[in-house]
Amino acid sequence: MRIMTSSSRLSAIAVIAVLSALSAACSNSTTSTGQQTSGTNPAPTSTGSTAGTPTTASVSIPVGAMGKGAAAYGTNPLVVAVGTAVTWTNNDTMPHTVTSDTQLFDSGTMNAGATFSHTFTTAGDFPYHCTIHGAASMSGMVRVQ
């Protein structure tokens, strides 16, 4: 039979107190809004962005884009949400432009590897073309919903 001294009893009580405090802390928490939860993790909440709505989109101008007409810029029309920033990248070996048919945006001459971005802030259809090679040779459209 083992006899506990006063100091070993105090140590045991201290360990039990610490474990109880840890257990209570793990089972109760406060959310960022000050609401108390008990024993479960709160459900995830939105951080202000709409789920599934991209804020960026990319367009690749492929090698040999000249002469592909409406397929020169890939997906046509490119459908995005209001507020989306579209970035075009010239992956071709020759220069191109991304120029709005209504002068809303214009990349200027984009040499190989260059990028150009435009953020669409209103809904609608926004046709564009390459001014170097002409709309019949290279055209596209961004549809903003």
Structural domain includes residue 114: yes
Domain count, the chain: 1
pTM, two decimals, is 0.64
Alpha carbons within 13 A on the beta-carbon side of 123: 2
Q: Would 134 be classed as within a structural domain?
A: yes
Alpha-carbon separation of residue 110 from 21, 85, 92 (angstroms): 64, 18, 10
Pairing of strands 124-129, 99-100: antiparallel
In a domain, 66, yes or no: yes
3-state secondary structure of 27: helix
Domain carrying residue 115: 56-144
pLDDT of residue 50: 52
pLDDT of residue 3: 56
How far apart, in Å, are the Cα atoms of 107 and each of 40, 75, 88, 129? 52, 19, 9, 11
CATH number at residue 78: 2.60.40.420
Q: Is residue 110 part of a domain?
A: yes
Specify if 32 maps to a domain: no
Q: Is 18 part of a structural domain of the chain?
A: no
Look at the alpha carbons of 34, 37, 41, 46 in this order and tell me if their dihedral is positive or negative. Answer: negative
Residue 126 located in a structural domain: yes
Q: Is residue 16 part of a domain?
A: no
Digit-by-digit pLDDT tens for the chain (145 residues) are 555 455 555 444 444 444 444 344 444 433 333 333 333 333 322 223 455 555 999 999 999 999 999 999 999 999 999 999 999 999 999 999 999 999 999 999 999 999 999 999 999 999 999 999 999 999 999 999 9
Please state the length of the chain.
145
